[in-house]
Chains A and B, each alone.
Chain A
Amino acid sequence: MDFPTQSSPYLPVANNLSRLMTQVMLGLIPGALAMFWFFGWGVLFNLTIATLSAVTAEAAMLTARRRPVKATLLDGSAVLTGLLLGLALPPLAPWWMPVLGAGFAIVFAKQLYGGLGYNPFNPAMVGFVVLIISFPLQMTLWPPPLGMHTGATLGFVDTLQMVFGGTVPAGTGLDSLTMATPLDAAKTQLGLDYTWSEILARPLFGHVGGYGWEWINLAYLLGGLWLWRKRAIHWQIPGGMLSALFVVALLFYIADSDAFGSPLLHLFSGATMLGAFFIATDPVSAATTPRGRFYYGAGIGTLMYVIRTWGGYPEGLAFAVLLMNMAAPTIDYYTQPRVFGHEEQ
């Protein structure tokens, strides 16, 4: 009897890309739900538009590059890029913002480099940075989180009209519908020589971080921990990022608690947890050695603090991630583990 031959190992492989991507998407659910709870329908619009744009752009590029379309789309990476970008955008941003961001992310940051596995930069963050540099005004369209009692809360239809038509409901203005995020407000206030204790007393802040944002961050943290338990991500990147952010914030906080926010405020505001567990952990563009991953995460945490505190933007995740993407190959080179049977270098 004759048999076909193949190369070892032979056991069925349980792991696959779409499973990995699906796990990450499932991990996003608590955080996305919290976002939806606090910021309303705009979050869902962003997710939908960004995902559809990402998938369309991916399909178009794959067709142009004569690559298998269906099989590649099924790996879920384009969907995930869309979701991550969608979660990072302000919920009242006009429809063309997620389209442009996701399109740029997929076409320029991913497919032109050769597709999944060959992109040196995190596509979602490239898309985000393009938008924040090109359209800084539209990137501030955050509504007040639910429960802030500013009066206006937009329903489904109002949000739809605003996102697609650019029209605000009668009797309201853009200023009454949106407000600065806690990190943005804090930056402005600090510039006006308010102290952190005065700033924190405002309704924009909750128990430890921005109002609403602390719950969103907690939800992302839970999803992230689940992801780690499922071994879809390693602990080093979030661990390095959160501990560096905590330590650096703590040092400055001890030095001057009026001028610098508390470590907990930094951990539970803005995109900290989303970034730590879902964005910085994008394996393709991150460092890949165990020690390297920790340094890579720590670099993002530190840069994020620097940009938040002294930079020109209220949030620094996207820039921090892209800067560390550039450093990843070098980090990998210098953090190779000691091979079994080799001397310590």
Chain B
Amino acid sequence: MRRLMVSILEQPLKIPGGLSLASNKAQSLREPLRQAPIPERLIVPLSQHIGEAAEALVGVGDKVLKGQVIARSLNYISAPVHAPTSGTVTDIGEYPVPHPSGLKGVCIVIHADGHDTSAATGLAMDNVFAADAADIRQRVREAGIVGLGGAGFPTAVKLNPGPQRQVELLVINAAECEPYISCDEALICCCTQDVIDGVRIMQHALGATQVVIGIEDNMPRAIECLRDGLARAGSHDIRIVPVPTTYPAGGEKQLIYALTGEEVPSQGLPADLGIVCHNVGTAAAIARALLRGEPLISRVVTVTGAGVRNPCNLEVRIGTPMAEIIEAAGGYTDQVSRLLMGGPMMGISMPSDRVPVIKTTNCLLIASREEAPPPLPASACIRCGQCTDVCPARLLPQQLYWHAHAREFDKIQDYSLFDCIECGCCAQVCPCHIPLVQYYRFAKTEIWDQERQRQKADLARQRHEFRLERLEKEKKALEERRAHARKGLEKRPKAGDADAKKAEIAAALERVKAKKASQDAAARNIDQLTPEQQARIAEVDARRSGDGTAGR
């Protein structure tokens, strides 16, 4: 087993590039976290995570209880889905889901019965800290927990670094770097103990020797809550490190760099450095599942923006339509112009508020025209390089754009397109208003598509070659058979050998006779008829042989 040396820096680093953005978090933090009402109708998508969609286990008309598994995961990288409340399944079908493609996805629709009756989930463990890591992972998997920071990667997978790797450092990501989003801060202040318990469980499951909570230094209240909580719990070994507030300091690779000075290798994982990074909300979800037996059926959502009356943080059941949450936050104001899921830098623009909240919905930004104006017309790139200054991946966005624009997909990979994290900093400072991120997404999709085409072509070529080979083999085999047959003919008796010929003919006749006999012996379906059947046959025969006018 490889042991890697990782140390937390005394003074966290500033990430490369990045932007100082107005945080706009205060408006949603004015009041403490509260519960959103459970809606009458919940739409629960089967795919709310990275990986395979779950498979529905219930049918229309089934009664379900809160916390009951309604869809199971079939693959390693997948997550089951639980009923967010008790009620009846009224439909399983395609509904609009919050996905960048805007496509529909399979959802289970549940009509709530209003009782919110819990099922026995059996997720709680008696003594978590004595439990085996594999058991903990299994429970985390069964609880349907995925990364709540936004990516939605199944957490159990990330809790399993593999036998070859030793985890030295567990990084808890509490650096909510995107403007407007405050759900992690609200959660930390309201459920500090859950967070700390979850962190402890993760540390135990991973066998991590060090734990650090990375948090932005503009969240003093959350830092204080965590400090108090850790002091109460006597967890003095868990460090809290405030990192300089810069967008995107909360990106996994960026946070790890800020805390340790280490760069996660391109195309690699933090685990390559002996580091695992989890979101703070994920930690709380683990604590709730393993200590209290609650699977992931709700999450904290920031509802904010000038387009909503009372910006706030709400604990929302998964599957609640966005419209209901906005209603719970006082409803729309006149200024509403856009509905974004996530923050204003990396969020997804929603076509309608009928889509449900899913496990990765950290924020609903109901933006006014001023907050999210329609895109400005783009002009040609002047290569001013302001994008280079702010790129946290140290890419050359202007060159990437140039090659994406020219569809030079080979060259664009020379400029490390796939190291782009789509944070949007470049587009935010571009004086030419070029939708740079859109160009990079386009190039990535095209390259993936080309890759798929290439694989398909490879497969087709292999098939073709295999077919040619097979034909060749068949041809050879045929020739061999023919050669064999010719040899057999040569060996056969000549025409003069009359006795042998007679014997052969006799044998053939014998075979024909035997066959006929066996056919005659077989029972026919008119052999054993009942008297009624015979009567009916006679009747039909009579009709046929009669005057023959019946049918005319």
Q: Name A residues whose Cβ lies closer than 8 Å to a Cβ of B.
A: 1-13, 15-17, 19-20, 71-72, 75, 114-118, 231, 234, 283-284, 286, 288-290, 293, 332, 336-342
CB distance from A55 to the nearest CB of B (A): 17
Known A15-B430, A341-B265; contact A10-B253, beta-carbon cutoff 8 A: no
Say yes or no: A3 contacts B264, CB within 8 Å. Answer: no
Interface digits, B250-279 against A, CB 8 Å rule (1 contact, 0 not)?
000100010000011110100000000000
Q: Which 5 pairs of residues, A with B, have the shortest CB-CB distance?
A: A117-B380, A9-B424, A10-B372, A5-B349, A341-B266
Contact of B349 among A8, A12, A288, A337 (CB under 8 A): A8
B69 at the A interface (CB under 8 A)? no
Known: A9-B344, A10-B344, A290-B385. 11 other contacts (CB 8 A): A7-B349, A7-B441, A8-B348, A9-B437, A116-B379, A118-B380, A288-B388, A340-B257, A340-B394, A341-B263, A341-B266
A-B contact pairs, 14 of them (CB 8 A): A8-B348, A10-B340, A10-B372, A15-B431, A19-B431, A117-B382, A283-B385, A284-B382, A288-B398, A289-B396, A336-B396, A340-B253, A340-B263, A341-B268
Say yes or no: B430 contacts A13, CB within 8 Å. Answer: yes
Say yes or no: A234 contacts B431, CB within 8 Å. Answer: no
Say yes or no: A283 contacts B384, CB within 8 Å. Answer: yes
The chain B residue with its CB closest to the CB of A233 is B384
| Residues of B contacting A114 in the complex (Cβ-Cβ under 8 angstroms) | 380
CB distance from B341 to the nearest CB of A (A): 11
Contact of A17 among B179, B353, B432, B435 (CB under 8 A): B432
A289 to B391, CA, bound (A): 12
CB distance from A316 to the nearest CB of B (A): 24
CB distance from B343 to the nearest CB of A (A): 9
Say yes or no: B340 contacts A340, CB within 8 Å. Answer: no
Known A15-B430, A116-B382, A293-B385; contact A341-B398, beta-carbon cutoff 8 A: no
A296 to B361, CA, bound (A): 47
CB distance from A75 to the nearest CB of B (A): 7
B72 at the A interface (CB under 8 A)? no
Say yes or no: B419 contacts A341, CB within 8 Å. Answer: yes
Per DSSP, chain B at the interface is loop
B427 at the A interface (CB under 8 A)? yes
B364-389 at interface with A (beta carbon < 8 Å): 367, 370-377, 379-386, 388-389
CB distance from B291 to the nearest CB of A (A): 36
Chain A CB within 10 A, most for which of B323, B384, B437: B384
Say yes or no: B345 contacts A8, CB within 8 Å. Answer: yes
| Residues of B contacting A8 in the complex (Cβ-Cβ under 8 angstroms) | 344-349, 422, 424, 437
Say yes or no: A339 contacts B394, CB within 8 Å. Answer: yes
Say yes or no: A6 contacts B345, CB within 8 Å. Answer: no
B429 at the A interface (CB under 8 A)? yes
Contact of A1 among B353, B375, B379, B389 (CB under 8 A): B353
CB distance from B155 to the nearest CB of A (A): 23
Say yes or no: B253 contacts A290, CB within 8 Å. Answer: no
B445 at the A interface (CB under 8 A)? no
| Residues of B contacting A284 in the complex (Cβ-Cβ under 8 angstroms) | 382-383
| Residues of B contacting A2 in the complex (Cβ-Cβ under 8 angstroms) | 351-352
B296 at the A interface (CB under 8 A)? no
Say yes or no: B416 contacts A339, CB within 8 Å. Answer: yes
Say yes or no: A10 contacts B347, CB within 8 Å. Answer: yes
Say yes or no: B16 contacts A1, CB within 8 Å. Answer: no
| Residues of A contacting B337 in the complex (Cβ-Cβ under 8 angstroms) | 3
B443 at the A interface (CB under 8 A)? no
Say yes or no: B344 contacts A16, CB within 8 Å. Answer: no
Chain B CB within 10 A, most for which of A10, A15, A332, A342: A10
| Residues of A contacting B416 in the complex (Cβ-Cβ under 8 angstroms) | 339, 342
Say yes or no: A11 contacts B338, CB within 8 Å. Answer: no
Say yes or no: A339 contacts B419, CB within 8 Å. Answer: yes
A337 to B398, CA, bound (A): 13
Say yes or no: A117 contacts B379, CB within 8 Å. Answer: yes
The chain A residue with its CB closest to the CB of B263 is A341
A9 to B429, CA, bound (A): 11
Say yes or no: B367 contacts A339, CB within 8 Å. Answer: no
CB distance from B422 to the nearest CB of A (A): 8
Interface digits, B392-414 against A, CB 8 Å rule (1 contact, 0 not)?
11111011000000000000000
| Residues of B contacting A71 in the complex (Cβ-Cβ under 8 angstroms) | 377
CB distance from B462 to the nearest CB of A (A): 34
Known A289-B388, A341-B263, A342-B419; contact A10-B382, beta-carbon cutoff 8 A: no
B433 at the A interface (CB under 8 A)? yes
Say yes or no: A12 contacts B373, CB within 8 Å. Answer: yes
A17 to B386, CA, bound (A): 12
CB distance from A99 to the nearest CB of B (A): 26
Say yes or no: A3 contacts B338, CB within 8 Å. Answer: yes
| Residues of B contacting A5 in the complex (Cβ-Cβ under 8 angstroms) | 102, 349-351
B95 at the A interface (CB under 8 A)? no
Known A3-B350, A332-B399, A339-B395; contact A283-B430, beta-carbon cutoff 8 A: no
B339 at the A interface (CB under 8 A)? yes
Say yes or no: B388 contacts A3, CB within 8 Å. Answer: no
Known A20-B431, A342-B266; contact A11-B372, beta-carbon cutoff 8 A: yes
B423-463 at interface with A (beta carbon < 8 Å): 424, 427-433, 435, 437-438, 441
| Residues of A contacting B384 in the complex (Cβ-Cβ under 8 angstroms) | 20, 283
Say yes or no: B385 contacts A234, CB within 8 Å. Answer: yes
CB distance from A79 to the nearest CB of B (A): 15
Contact of A117 among B102, B351, B383, B415 (CB under 8 A): B383
A20 to B432, CA, bound (A): 10
A11 to B345, CA, bound (A): 7
| Residues of A contacting B350 in the complex (Cβ-Cβ under 8 angstroms) | 3, 5
A134 to B365, CA, bound (A): 62
Say yes or no: B338 contacts A4, CB within 8 Å. Answer: yes
The chain A residue with its CB closest to the CB of B392 is A340
Chain B CB within 10 A, most for which of A16, A20, A289, A340: A340
A284 to B379, CA, bound (A): 13
A118 to B263, CA, bound (A): 36
The chain B residue with its CB closest to the CB of A15 is B431
Say yes or no: B394 contacts A6, CB within 8 Å. Answer: no
Interface digits, B512-534 against A, CB 8 Å rule (1 contact, 0 not)?
00000000000000000000000
The chain A residue with its CB closest to the CB of B442 is A7
The chain A residue with its CB closest to the CB of B385 is A288
A20 to B264, CA, bound (A): 36
Known A8-B345, A11-B21, A11-B345; contact A337-B396, beta-carbon cutoff 8 A: yes
